[in-house]
Amino acid sequence: MNVIVCLKQVPGTTKVTIDPQTNTLVRQGIESITNPFDTYALEEGVRLRERYGGKVTAISMGPPQADTMLKDAISVGADDTALICDSALAGSDTWATAYVLARAAGEINEYDLIICGRQTLDGDTGQVGPEMAEMLGIPFIAYVSKIEEIENGRMQVQRMVEDGYETIETTLPAVITVVKEINVPRLPSLRGLARARSASIPVWKAEELGIDKNMVGLSGSATRVIRIFYPQRVSQAQIFEGSMEDKVDSLVEKLREAKLI
Amino acid sequence: MEYFLTEDQKTMQNLARRIAEERILPVRAELDEKEEFPWEIIKDLADSDMFRVFIPEQYDGLGGGCLDLCLVVEELSRACSAVAVSYAAVDLGIIPLLDYGTEEQKQKYLPDVAAGKRLAAFALTEPTAGSDASAIRTTAEKVAGGYVLNGTKQFITNGGEAEIYTVIALTDRTKGARGASALIVEKDTPGFSFGKKEKKMGIRASATRELIFQNCLVPEENIIAREGMGFIIAMKLFDKSRPGIGAQAIGVAQGALEAAVDYARERIQFGHPIISLQAVQHMLADMATQVEAARALVYAAARMVDSGARNVSEESAMAKVFASDVAMKVTTDAVQILGGAGYMRDYPAEKMMRDAKITQIYEGTNQVLRNVIALELRKRKGKRA
């Protein structure tokens, strides 16, 4: 059972700034963390290896400093890692990112399952997983909350839906995105930390992956961010005056007007 | 204070702190309330390789020593002493094996302990033998192929939860302490059962239980070293393990100090946070100074143990006595600073005060340990060691 887990480094703070030129996140000088949803993906990958054998390869597309995140991945059980890092990739949208990750998966070649977090903390789109599956031409299941069984190239999972869960069976290889209900990610181990300290993270360039540079980066991305803005804060509070009875009457009146009661 | 720890030691310390804050802190009050053995946390500790810390590399350990253990115990105890002692008692159970065991014994038991698959415990105390450890009555009678154990051990940490017990019993009743031997007894050995689980004042999530031996046959190869070595093994063990109790003490004291400072910064009285009152400031300053002094002594004693020094009785006794007295004082003062809130179970200070008390009692009461220190002083006429 060989698993690829896709990780993304995201800002570890809510105080982010936007580059006014590109309308993308300014990542320099900000403390970064592993996208929290991806930690569940990695934990599930490691658990599958513990259950079925094989190996877990953690991959990421990102800047050079993302190698610390991949080292963290080793400390909690990833066997192999790869960082796809190339200036040509800067500014890629979800489609371009999915394309790059799909190429990387193709490079790894022998895999049974690709696991992603349901979405990232910064982009929040949840598109990369399904787009990857589409590009690789393999099945996709979103919001997986439990992997029940894997046998003879088939996998049965539970996926969360609004009012419960669905049980779905798929052939492998496949791509899934997972929700936080799926597991409790482990803490690192001392042996893992030692392995991580001495590990060097392989860096893959766009060229090595046979990536068409017209399909990646800002220019290769279909998405154009026109403007990013904070919603205007409007305060519409109304304070009723008078005796308690008057205030209650006014409130009830107002709620009736608004057809809320 | 800078203690010049190695990179590996800092890694251990940081990881232990993370486990304490992420896994222990959220459940410590509940574990205390329910007096429930913290199996889930033990599993986290095992998964994080914490049981490998004090085991040599050839038995799947990381080859750390007393200081490494102390660093982990301190961090765990900062969140919950009950978890810390459940962890440290495993080390206590296997030190005799490490120091005196045969290669076969080590191969048989240590890799499982390192992986956290089996917990260990050490059993000396009996209803009639506490400070006077030589008064033990449990016997191990030599028969063909082994020893038959009879007797009851009391107040055994990890009792019932551990799989591997190092038990001190008399193989020769006529020789007193010199007739004692150390034996490895596995859980589920016929004739070995557990008595009542004690209801304690503090460290309530840890298991403290009676061990009952009724014609319990232990194979001959389970004796550690040889007959008659039991008492020496126990005394040497405590010399090595007492800094660990010191670490437990500074951990709980550190936790209490932090709780007191947090509260003093938030609590408004007379229009100001109470930390602006000099009476409170001086208490906190004394607490911090005492904790740091205790830490320095514990680390120094632990380093001496790790150096392989032949006699560490005095230093290790000093570390345990001083740190545990500091823990009692600091946790009591923390309750005082929290005032009425400190007395309530909604706040952590009262648990810490209850947890601190045991450190003055077990692994040699502070009174017995002062005898140990005084004996050494007499021998060298008070000169500096």
ipTM of the complex as predicted:
0.90
Nearest CA in chain A to B60: A191
In this structure, of A207-221, B93-107, B239-253, the range with the lowest mean pLDDT score is A207-221
Give the residue extent of every domain in chain B.
Answer: 7-118, 121-229, 231-379
Task: Indicate yes or no: CB of A187 within 8 angstroms of CB of B53.
Answer: no
Per-residue pLDDT, averaged over B144-162, amounts to: 97
Question: Which CATH number is associated with domain B7-118?
Answer: 1.10.540.10
SS3 of chain B: helix, strand, coil, percent, to 5:
60, 15, 25
Per-residue pLDDT, averaged over A32-52, amounts to: 95
Per-residue pLDDT, averaged over B187-204, amounts to: 97
Nearest CA in chain B to A187: B48
In this model, does residue B115 exceed pLDDT 80? yes
Would the CA dihedral through B339, B345, B350, B352 be positive or negative?
negative
Task: Indicate yes or no: CB of A187 within 8 angstroms of CB of B11.
Answer: no
Task: Indicate yes or no: CB of B47 within 8 angstroms of CB of A193.
Answer: no
**What pairs with residue A111 in β-bridges?**
none
Q: Which residues of A touch B11 (CB under 8 A)?
A: 190, 193-194
The pLDDT, as a whole number, for residue B133 is 87
The pLDDT, as a whole number, for residue A204 is 94
Tell the residue number behind the tokens 């006429």, with chain if given.
B381
The pLDDT, as a whole number, for residue B116 is 97
Dihedrals φ, ψ of B113, to 5°?
-65, -45
In this structure, of A94-108, B115-129, B195-209, the range with the lowest mean pLDDT score is A94-108
Task: Indicate yes or no: CB of A190 within 8 angstroms of CB of B44.
Answer: no
B123 interfacial to chain A (CB closer than 8 Å):
no
Cα torsion through A137, A143, A148, A152, rounded to 10: 0
B163: annotated active-site residue: no
Q: Which residues of B touch A190 (CB under 8 A)?
A: 11-12, 15, 48-50, 52-53, 62
The pLDDT, as a whole number, for residue A22 is 74
The pLDDT, as a whole number, for residue B301 is 98
Structure tokens that stand for A6 in this block = 């896709």
Question: Which CATH number is associated with domain B121-229?
Answer: 2.40.110.10
Closest-CA distance, A215 to chain B, in angstroms, reads 42
- What is the DSSP code string of B64-80? --HHHHHHHHHHHHHH-
**What pairs with residue A175 in β-bridges?**
A114, A140
In this model, does residue A80 exceed pLDDT 80? yes
Q: Which residues of A touch B53 (CB under 8 A)?
A: 190
The pLDDT, as a whole number, for residue B91 is 97
pLDDT tens digits for range B32-53? 999 999 999 999 999 999 999 9
Residue B278 pLDDT level (bands cut at 50, 70, 90) = very high
Same fold, B7-118 and B231-379: no
In this model, does residue B92 exceed pLDDT 90? yes
The pLDDT, as a whole number, for residue B163 is 98
Tell the residue number behind the tokens 């020893």, with chain if given.
B147
Task: Indicate yes or no: CB of B49 within 8 angstroms of CB of A190.
Answer: yes
* SS3 state at B302: helix
Kindly report the three-state secondary structure assignment for every residue of B189-248. CCCEEEEEECCCCCCCCCCEEEEEEEEEEEEHHHEECCCCCHHHHHHHHHHHHHHHHHHH
Contact A25, A19 (CB under 8 A): yes
Q: Class assignment of domain B231-379?
A: mainly alpha
In this model, does residue A32 exceed pLDDT 90? no
The pLDDT, as a whole number, for residue A237 is 83
Sheet strands (E) in chain B = 120-123, 139-143, 146-157, 164-170, 180-186, 192-197, 208-219, 223-224, 268-269, 272-273
Q: Class assignment of domain A3-220?
A: alpha beta
- Tell me the whole-structure pTM to 2 decimals: 0.89
Residue A124 pLDDT level (bands cut at 50, 70, 90) = confident
Give the residue extent of every domain in chain A.
Answer: 3-220
Quickly list H helices, chain A: 36-52, 67-75, 94-108, 128-136, 190-198, 217-220, 244-257
B99 interfacial to chain A (CB closer than 8 Å):
no
pLDDT tens digits for range A134-186? 999 999 999 999 999 999 999 999 999 988 999 999 999 999 999 999 999 99
DSSP secondary-structure letter at B23? I
In this structure, of A215-219, B180-184, B213-217, B380-384, the range with the lowest mean pLDDT score is A215-219
Per-residue pLDDT, averaged over A4-18, amounts to: 84
* SS3 state at B121: strand
Closest-CA distance, A6 to chain B, in angstroms, reads 23
The pLDDT, as a whole number, for residue B224 is 97
Residue B121 pLDDT level (bands cut at 50, 70, 90) = very high
